[in-house]
Structure 1
Amino acid sequence: MLKRYTRAAGDRFKRWRGTMTTPWQRLLARFELLFLDHAVFRHIKLNLHPVSPQMWRSAQPSPGHLAKVARLGVRTVINLRGERDCASYLFERETCRRLGMTMVNFPLNSREPPEPERVAAFERLLETIEYPALMHCKSGADRAGIGSALYLLLHEGRPLAEAKGQLHWKFGHLRHSRTGVLDYMLERYGADAASQPIAFRDWAAAGYDAQAMRREFQAGRLSSGIVDRILRRE
């Protein structure tokens, strides 16, 4: 009931907010950003952390947060939520243009391993963007976690143990929830590489069944309830 009411309220705000062309629409967009996309909590904690000297990770940044990371030297913002009809997206696109940062949309799923083709596309993206860069999802826990792990494995050639550290409770990631399938993918790679050493990119290029991994992974009900119903993660 609450979920249906929240969705209906969100749809109404999107219609009223439009493309944020009038002062009234921008005011509505601010309300949508703060309360429907939960930015009020991100003002308390953005979940901003360095992955390496050239990469940062965070939750969905507000215009003020984007100004902060621009002062840190960030040149590219990778939006792991993807393009969507949401005030946070509109403000992000507008602010990146104003600050001279490049915004790239590269959606990842928090409850399914990325397909091998998606991993290859992400590596190509990492080879072409201007650094320093920031990658973000909504909460900075799951998609930002696997994105950061892939960055370390593919772009910096870091050890698997270091990459797995990007999926950690200190960032808000709960490995026993349905988002733990992201950990499971890295563990499967680790098991295969232990028996026959292989670089992650080569392992991914050889092909793996991401959907089979999702079916095999057993999530805990309590952790999944916390992530899906209390934290309301995407």
Structure 2
Amino acid sequence: MYQIKTPWQRIKAHLSAWLIDHEILRVFFRNFYRISDKAYRSNHPSPGFIKTLKEKHDIKTIINLRGANKTGQYMLEKEACEKYDIKLISIPFSSRSAPWPEDIHDIFNAFDHAEYPILLHCKSGADRAGLGSALYEFYVENIPLSESKQLDIKYGHIKSSETGVLDFFIQKWTEYHLANPEVPFLTWVDTTYDYKAINAEFKASKWSNLLVNKILRRE
């Protein structure tokens, strides 16, 4: 499943990654940053960059927040991880929706079972990678979500666009936690959190959406 088996499939995989998924741009800008001594974040890594991650940073686990699929970029990533003995975990986060409760549980489970150091990535490294990094800091490093700087313009994240719903999710938890400090985060997620209501309540700027969706063509 999700394997390159023929020369023609390999050609199509590279064409998809370079021309459709914008690897031609990522080769000049990796959006690669250190989160902690044992975690990093970036945009979608190419096979060559995965090799560099192994050789220079000894990355042992990659958490792909785009999810597993049949695209060329994913199949090349999976193949490279197998080649360089890197564990690949795929969790399909959304950049335009507050995270589903099961996705929060899945990423915490990934943090529990990952071999470190790890890399978190999405397509551009701006939105889903930012939320994933904030959740990593919260769950592994005990940094409150309200104090995280991982969703920031520095990484290309634009809070006023539709992707700002990720910030709104953190805001809603922070407000709830201030009023109910005795309630653990996962208890809130499982009993009170309503991602549909958060999605409906959040309002984005149409100009920011134009930039993110039409000009930057974010996923």
TM-score (norm 2): 0.93
Asked which structure has the greater CA Rg, the reply is 1
Distance 2:72 2:6 in 1: 14
Correspondence for 2:145: 160
- Does the CA contact (< 8 Å) of 2:41 and 2:129 recur in 1? yes
The 8 Å contact of residues 20 and 26 in structure 1, kept in 2 or not, is answered as yes
Gaps of at least 5 residues in structure 2 are: none
**How far did residue 47 of structure 1 move?**
0.6
For the 8 Å contact 1:116–1:207, the answer to whether it is kept is no
Equivalent residue number for residue 149 of structure 1: 134
Deviations, residues 112-153 of structure 1 (Å, cap 9, x unaligned): 111223212321221111111111100001110111111111
Structure 2 distance, partners of 1:167, 1:108, is 15
Q: 2:40 aligns with which of 56, 70, 92?
A: 56
Secondary structure of the residue that 2:29 maps to in structure 1?
Answer: coil
Q: Does 1:211 align with 2:211?
A: no
**What's the % identity of the aligned pairs?**
38
Aligned mates of 1:208, 1:28 — CA distance in 2: 42
Shift of 1:193: 1.9
Residue 79 of structure 2 aligns to a residue whose secondary structure is helix
* Aligned partner of 2:69 among 84, 107, 124: 84
Alignment partner for residue 36 of structure 1, among 12, 20, 27? 20
| Residue 230 (structure 1) aligned with residue 210 (structure 2) | no
Specify the SS of the correspondent of 1:109. coil
The equivalent position to 1:179 in structure 2, one of 163, 167, 184, is: 163
RMSD value over aligned CA atoms?
A: 1.6
3-state SS of the aligned residue for 1:69?
helix
Give the residue type in structure 1 aligned to 2:195. A
- Alignment TM-score, normalising by the size of structure 1: 0.87
- 1:170 alignment counterpart: 154
Is the contact made by 1:140 and 1:171 (CA closer than 8 Å) also made in structure 2? Answer: yes
Partner of 2:176: 192
Work out the CA distance in 2 between the residues paired with 1:158 and 1:30.
Answer: 39
| Aligned partner letter, 1:174 | I
Kindly tell me the number of residue pairs found equivalent between the two proteins: 216
CA separation of 1:30/1:121 partners in 2, compared to 1, >3 Å: closer, same or farther?
closer
Matched, 1:96 2:75: no
Aligned residue for 1:121?
106
- Point out where structure 1 has 5 or more consecutive residues left out of the alignment: 1-17
